Amino acid sequence: MPEAPSEFQAAWARFRATSDLVLVPETLESAWAQGRDRFLAFLVPVDDPAVLSHIRAITDRLRSIPGVEPYPEEYYHITIKGAGFLVAEPSNSDECSQSGMEAAAEQAAHILAGHPPFRVDIGLPNGFPEVVFMEVWDSGDVRRLNTALIEGLPNLVRYPFDGPRFLPHISIARFTSDDGLDELKTVLPDLRHGGPGPSFTVTHIDLICAHLSAAAPTFELLRRYQLSA
């Protein structure tokens, strides 16, 4: 099993020090979304039964905490690369037209086809100000794929957290209020003492369109890329 990257320890320290959570309404109405509701992304769907069972035991502990709202299991995923918002007429660097998306999807096929399947281990529960997440310990494969898409698709939007700073994770719950923050900071350390979870092999990557709303985002599958040795 790979060791947990040190960046996760840093993220945990920052979360334990936070006093303000980023709530669902702030996320949907933020400068990032700007009213746009179709977000493109390359991601790994997480549907392995053992992994889902492990995460379910954690979200069962979280759902009683005020202001903590677990995501539905069909939302679980590991983002490889955010690809911007799908719009009719792009006017910003983080927007993409239908034809632009189709061109990027075709280019990505040549980049992803050469990458072999890889194993990921489900690490410890952790937190960002926006979500509770599961750490993903993957020996660097997700970060390498993120970088490969950036380098191979020059028109693809760049985010500050891409490349060497990219931290693979599975978001499992979001926040509707700050009411349970103190309790969450008590429960999460106890859950972390339970140790890491199971592993699974990533055999494909999906290009999806996430439809954003007050409910949890729903995914529309646009293209599936099979990984091969």
Task: Tell me if 145 is assigned to some domain.
Answer: yes
Q: Is residue 141 part of a domain?
A: yes
In 3D space, the residue among 46, 38, 73 whose CA is nearest the CA of residue 59 turns out to be 73
Domain count, the chain: 1
* 2 pLDDT more than 60: no
Is residue 204 included in any domain, yes or no?
yes
Q: Read off the pLDDT of residues 94-107 as tens digits, 9 standing for 90 and up.
A: 999 999 999 999 99
Tell me, yes or no, whether 228 lies in a domain. Answer: no
Q: Indicate which CATH number applies to the domain containing 137.
A: 3.90.1140.10
User: DSSP string of 26-90?
Assistant: HHHTSTTTTT--EEEEEEEE---HHHHHHHHHHHHHHTTSTTEEEPPGGG-EEEEEEEEEE-SS-
Q: 3-class SS at 111?
A: helix
Rounded to two decimals, what is the model's pTM? 0.94
For the chain, give the percent of residues with pLDDT over 70.
Answer: 95
Q: Is 42 a domain residue?
A: yes
Q: How far is CA 171 from the centre of its chain?
A: 6
Answer yes or no: is 114 within a domain. yes
Question: 15 lies in a domain?
Answer: yes
- Encode pLDDT of 15-59 as tens digits: 999 999 999 876 655 656 777 899 999 999 999 999 999 999 999
| Domain limits for position 95 | 6-222
Residue 110 has pLDDT above 70, yes or no: yes
60-101 pLDDT, tens digit per residue, is 999 999 999 999 999 999 999 999 999 999 999 999 999 999
Q: Is the pLDDT of residue 1 over 50?
A: no
Asked if the structure places residue 229 within a domain, the reply is no
Where does the pLDDT of residue 113 fall: very low under 50, low under 70, confident under 90, or very high at 90 and above? confident
